[in-house]
Every structure is written in structure tokens, then in C-alpha cells.
Chain A
């Protein structure tokens, strides 16, 4: 099931045409074969590495920050896909 591109496309929220799906499915099997090469390695002792510098979490006080640049505020709102006044308009969820 999980190797099924149609299912993965649903999880990733991407609409695919039927013939597109067939091509992707074929390619996907090949790409999976390619990445399965890692199975050759014995990794029982290995520790995973999630980013190269082994950085510590950077934390800061959770403080309110006022957006002073009025123009910037407006610019961000202008980027909204759909807008109603100062609000980002979205479809009904419930």
C-alpha cells in the first residue's frame, strides 16, 4: 500500500492525472531500488546525524514582538491568496 504512488499523492496533497500516476509508479519503483542500496551496510552501532554541525537548540524568551514596519505588514497581507479585509480567507474547514 505505502509504495503506491496514488496513496502517497493523497498524503502529500497533490492531485495527479491517471496517466501521470502510471508513469510515476514505474519511476518510483526504480528510484526505490536505487535508494535501497543502503541495506548493504551494517548500521547497528551507528548514531543518526540530523544536521552536520551537531548544533544545540537555540532558544529565546517567548516575547511579543510588534511588527513596526506597517508597509511590510501590508505587503505580507498582499501576498495572501485570498483576502477579506485584514484576514486571510480560507475555505470552511468544519
Chain B
């Protein structure tokens, strides 16, 4: 049943009493319990809580009360976003038993809108990875090919949507962690403008790059969820209100960066991308070649900055305030033994981050990367003087085999080559599936142009 419905259709049927919320949720949990065993999208389920919420919604329907916009809509939440009373592990041994004492702002907003949280989804530990294989607890499989990865780090959230375990999920995107798994799993995923969505209650990885965003079956649903979670939050000083309105232009000009379609792109990805462009051309969209000259520096720049911020953010896991801890002889012994619980990739990044911030290396690495970040942002600003939006593939590769890249960190990092610049520039981008293939079209816009992105993304979605 859920397979064929959009959020709006579900709401309509619920109001028409074609089913009750509880019935719908019970069927859904039955489906999840039988199908998720071989897939591994969820780290934990919230069955009891969800059914209780469902009963509340059903009572409201019975009393003919006005329903909030997402009343009864089942959703899944990446396990690095805090939901009060539920475990929040961030895919890490260090937070294995941590229970969230409060709701993230996005969760508060979803609950107010009546959405029902069915469970918490798997991720690479602390959202560091591109395949969800770096979770300390389990791997997640790509539902379209069980031998392949679902992408990452929001792999569980992408799969939960692809498998119709929910109408939408929330992910977080620091360098592509929403868009790349969306692309690999044939769903829609939005990385909003930096500041558009509150990060309060998101377990921090790299604070100047992290953003929470929706993952959905179609663009319209994505827009609905984004409209609910966005907005300024006094608890996140980097959040801002979106004020700019974009007039619907008759003629949209789209730029194709020449730097994105060169070497290193897997056979087939370019052809699929060109197919998508042809479809847009047929709808009257004009294309022109543009240049983003600092593209090749984005990945090294990203790794320096993201790791620097991570090494600082993850200093809080000290075996004292919360999370797991390992007994030691003195306080330093407690620190270092507890922090041994971090997985390999997390340690790798903390070490690099510690290095680029250390005395004598700060200027050569960290400061230099911040300067390159400015150049990358300026590349986009210049491009947007000429074009309204930019199209690129989301990933240079198709989903790869489980285990194929896990031992080679640099090879794994390359999976993000088309997505990291967008986080460095702080601009929004969506991934939408191209035909029925596990490779997405990335539509990039200037800051706070989400509405324009949705408008153009819908063209492809409908046809």
C-alpha cells in the first residue's frame, strides 16, 4: 500500500477513513520486521512509541479535529539525530547505550506536524564514510542489489525510503552523505543551504559543513518535509530564515561545469547524465558550459577542514559526561582507553584533524584549506552570475560492492568528489534519480534557492 502513495495521498486516505493510522503502522512494522533482516536499514525500532502516537492521531480523526500537516506520516531518522527517550548511537560503540534526553529541533518540528517516528537508521560512524560500512553495528545493503553498498553516510535513511519502510527519512550531509546514498538507492535527497535547517540535536561531525535534510520517494514530498523542518532556531546561532523569494522565470539557464565530466568518471555515468540533460532540453531548458576552476582542489580542501572540525567536535567523548567509558589508572588513561572505542575511520580523521591544527602545520594546511574554500565559493558565485542552476552527476561511480573500497580510504573518499564542493560553498543541492538507475542527477543552486531547485527537479520527476 505505502509503495504507491505520496504524502498527500496518504493524508487524504487517512482523512477519508480508508484505513486507521494504527492499522497502517501495524502493517508497516510487520513489513519492516520481515524485510529489514536482510537489508539492515534500522539500528532500532520505535514500535511501541509509534503505535501510541498512531492511536492519538486516530482519536483526533474520530473527534473530527483539525489534523496537522504530517498527521500519521511514518518517517525514519538517521541515528545521529536526537529523539527524546530513544537510543542515539551515531553508529559508534562509544554511544552504544546513549539515550537522548531531548529532541533535536527538527524532531520537535516533525512531532508538532504529527509525523510518526518508526525507527533510527544505520549510518557510518559519526557520519564519516560513503558506504555505511563504517557503522560499528551492522552493514546496510543496497535494496536494488544486495551485494552492493547503499552509499553513505545516510545509507540506512536512503534504504528505509527505497524499501518503503516510511514516506520520508532525515539524513545529514557533510560532504554528500544525503545525496550520494539517495543516488545509489534511487530516491530523492536534499542538502539544504547551510543554515536553512537547525542543527540543534544533530551529533556534530564538522559544524561548518553539516546540514540535516529530507530523503523521500519524490520531489513533492521532499519539498513538504523541507518546508516543515527549515527555519531559524534560537538554539542554533548559524540558522537563518529563508526570506528570498524566487520569481518563477520563464527561461531557466543551467550550467554544466566542464571540470566534472573528465577523467575518473565510471563508464555509463556520463551517458546517463547526458540522457537527463536531453530530457530537460526537450522541456525548453537552456544549457551552457561553465567553469568551476578549483574543482580538483575541493576534495583535499574538504578533508583538511572536515577532519579538523571533527577532531575538535569529537573531543567531547571523554568517558566522563556521557557515553561508554573504559576504566583506567588516571584521567588520561580513561580518556585514551575510552577513545580507543572509536572505529578506524573516525580515528583516521581525528589524527589528520589533530595534525592540520597542530602548531607549525596550522598555516600550511588548515589556513590554506580555508583560503581554498573561499576560492571554491567564489567559483560558484561567479557561475551563478551567468546561470540559474548547475547540473552535475551526484557520484562519478555506480554503487560498488560491499568490501570493495573499505580498506582504501583514499578510494572511498573519491566517491564524494562531486558533492563536497557544495558543502564547502554552503549552497543547496538535490539528488534525483535518473530513470530507474542507481545514479542521481545533482541540481545545485545559489544559497536559499531551494524553491527554484524543487521547481526544476519536479519537471523530471513528473515526466
Residues on A lying within 8 angstroms of B by beta carbon are 2-3, 5, 8-9, 11-16, 24, 27-28, 30-32, 34-41, 43, 46-53, 55, 57-58, 72, 75-76, 78-82, 88, 90-93
Contacts and interface: CB of A to CB of B under 8 A. Distances in A.
Interface string B282-300: 0000000000001011011
A35 B367 CA distance: 13
A52 B425 contact: yes
Nearest to B325: A81
Contacts of A34: 299-300, 303, 410, 413
A37 to B, nearest CB: 5
Interface string B48-71: 000000000000000000000000
B368 A81 contact: no
A93 to B, nearest CB: 6
B232 to A, nearest CB: 10
Contacts of A93: 331
B335 A13 contact: yes
11 contacts: A8-B355, A12-B311, A24-B348, A31-B303, A35-B303, A38-B297, A38-B368, A46-B375, A51-B194, A52-B424, A91-B334
Contacts of A47: 371, 374
A72 B101 contact: yes
B425 to A, nearest CB: 6
Contacts of B320: 80-82, 88, 90
6 closest A-B pairs (Cβ-Cβ)?
A: A52-B426, A48-B370, A79-B322, A75-B101, A46-B371, A58-B237
Contacts of A9: 351
B374 A46 contact: yes
Nearest to A12: B354
Interface in B317-351: 318-325, 328, 330-332, 334-337, 339-340, 342, 347-348, 350-351
A20 to B, nearest CB: 8
Chain B at the A interface: SS class: helix
B19 interface: no
Interface stretch (B32-40, B165-173, B254-262, B358-366): B358-366
Contact of B300 (A37, A53, A55, A90): A37
Interface of A is mostly: loop
A11 B368 CA distance: 22
B2 interface: no
A25 to B, nearest CB: 10
Given A12-B354, A31-B410, A38-B368, A81 B374 contact: no
Contact of B367 (A48, A55, A80, A90): A48
B358 A8 contact: yes
Contacts of B238: 51, 53, 55
Nearest to A48: B370
B334 to A, nearest CB: 6
A15 B300 contact: no
A15 B336 contact: yes
Given A2-B360, A8-B354, A12-B311, A51 B368 contact: no
A6 B330 CA distance: 20
A91 B372 contact: no
Contacts of A88: 320-321
Contact of A13 (B240, B324, B336): B336
Contacts of B98: 79
